[in-house]
Amino acid sequence: MYREAIEFLNDWKDRTTRKPLIIRGARQVGKTFLIEQFADDFEFLIKINFEENPEYKDFFITNDVQDIVKNISLALGTKIEPGKTLLFLDEIQFCPEAIPTLRYFYEKIPDLHVIAAGSLLDHVLNEMNYSMPVGRVEFMYMYPLNFREFLLAIGENMIVDFLSTYQHGKVISSVVHSKLLKLLRTYFFIGGMPEAIKVYIETSDLLEVERVHESILTAMEIDFTKYSKNNFDHLRMVLRYVPRGLGKKFKYSNVSSSIRAESIKTAFQKLQLSRVVHRVSATSSANIPLMQHEKENVFKPLFFDIGLVSHLLKIRLINLENLMLANEGDLAEQFIGQQLLTQKPFFIDKELFYWNREKRDSSAELDFLFEMGNKVIPIEVKAGKTGTLKSLHVFMLEKQKDLAVRFNADLPSLMDVSTTVKMANENQQVGYKLMSLPLYLVNFMDQITELKE
């Protein structure tokens, strides 16, 4: 499967400023597969998996990287040659003492390509008793396949080529539009987990996809015991609540009214560290940096994969075309949020924001504010072709913005909005450009909105 992150790795490989790379991402999003695919560009791949071979931890009882390289070479019977060898430290969270040594690889053997990865790595980084090699390593962040990668995986290369060159004003035929909406709906339920997509490609059997989803979720729950033995039930409760709470302000009491809010908060934070859930933080700002006016305890939850969301909501993948859902809007919001997380650059740990205004006379909420370069794009999400835009009108009036993006199920359009908004018991006029894009164009938003700047 083609992953866009391979482009980042190719650039990293050739950069003179390269540092040892730590790849962070949830369980089974394809970290190991990507690195092994990338290793084809090297003469030699040395892979150390600390979960499968805990004895390899003995290599890292010293910070002398020359000794480490020598001992690995002797143990594996393979010579390590800087510039020709990729040293891959997999599941490094099982050997935390190996993390500080990365700085010495950078300082003593800078020509050796070193990559580390691990599914529960953020827990270790958050609780490390060792000195973190600040400034001596760099990071890359991985997520499930986005919709563009999904299309490539199932062989829709011509569709991707068309979307990659799409410019606003070009016509998308109703037949192609309908096909893309069907493909989008398929992605809603299969999601972006590599194993689920692989099974779908090989069997076209949605029941087999469900089996994969169930096994992934079961493995995640088993992981809970590795980093939180005391509140397993709370973690499981929050994990299974988030799909039901999409698009809504996260309230601890909605998860359970009988458990202390602090316990629910801790469980959510641990799932964040596992990169299973994400925060969409409320902000009162409309300019960079959005975090400057973040409302610390006000956020909406986002799950890391829409296919697993559908599975947790007990949606049976029997007949997707005739499947009617009461929560299409929540799934559309999950989809857009998940795609925004996968936008380049891959070395930035993305934060998502939404705007809310809590006032008696004119409360309003906008689904996303997304930082793209040095601009902020206000985003409204609709599952269908129509829907009220009252909150967007309020935002555009209050923040004096001139361009907004709406994702929905309709064909693209660009319109001049001119309407009246009632604020503070007074009717006020607001005008702006509204760019409507079909949901399937979210991965290409940068090339489209750039034309209107």
Residue 293 three-state SS: helix
- H helix intervals, 167-305: 174-190, 194-203, 206-227, 232-241, 252-255, 261-273
Q: Are residues 39 and 127 in the same domain?
A: yes
Q: Give the whole-angstrom CA distance, residue 294 versus residue 317.
A: 38
424 backbone φψ class: left, alpha, beta (φ>0; ψ -120 to 50): left
Query: pLDDT at position 26, please?
Result: 94
Q: Are residues 112 and 257 in the same domain?
A: no
Q: What is the pTM for the complete model shown?
A: 0.92
Residues 6+ apart with CB under 8 A from 250: 268, 299, 300, 301
Residue 294 three-state SS: strand
Q: Are residues 109 and 187 in the same domain?
A: no
Q: Where in the sequence is the domain holding 205, given as residue range(s)? A: 149-452
Nearest to 91 by CA among 63, 121, 112: 121
Give me the number of domains the chain comprises.
2
Domain boundary among 141, 160, 188: 141
Profile the chain (453 residues) by mean pLDDT over runs of 10 residues: 96 96 95 96 96 94 95 94 97 92 95 93 72 82 98 98 91 94 93 98 94 95 77 91 95 92 93 94 90 89 96 73 63 96 93 86 86 89 85 92 94 94 84 95 87 46
Residue 264 three-state SS: helix
Domain boundary among 90, 111, 141: 141
Q: Are residues 223 and 260 in the same domain?
A: yes
Q: Give the whole-angstrom CA distance, residue 22 versus residue 205.
A: 35
Q: Are residues 128 and 229 in the same domain?
A: no
Contact indicator for 247, 338 with CB cutoff of 8 Å: no
Sheet holding 352-357, edge to edge: 294-303, 277-283, 352-357, 364-372, 375-381, 403-408, 426-438, 413-423
Q: Are residues 132 and 15 in the same domain?
A: yes
Q: Are residues 108 and 166 in the same domain?
A: no
- Strand pairing of 364-372 and 352-357? antiparallel
Q: Give the whole-angstrom CA distance, residue 51 versus residue 26.
A: 16
**Which domain CATH number covers 31?**
3.40.50.300
Query: pLDDT at position 162, please?
Result: 95
Q: Are residues 209 and 341 in the same domain?
A: yes
Query: pLDDT at position 318, please?
Result: 55
Query: pLDDT at position 322, please?
Result: 52
The Cβ-side half-sphere exposure at 160, using a 13 Å CA radius, reads: 15
Q: Are residues 266 and 305 in the same domain?
A: yes
Q: Give the whole-angstrom CA distance, residue 25 versus residue 274.
A: 8
Domain boundary among 118, 141, 164: 141
Q: Give the whole-angstrom CA distance, residue 319 versus residue 416.
A: 39
Q: Are residues 289 and 323 in the same domain?
A: yes
Contact indicator for 168, 435 with CB cutoff of 8 Å: yes
Q: Are residues 67 and 170 in the same domain?
A: no
Q: Are residues 274 and 307 in the same domain?
A: yes
Q: Which amino acid is at 15?
A: R
Query: pLDDT at position 452, please?
Result: 46
Contact indicator for 122, 275 with CB cutoff of 8 Å: yes
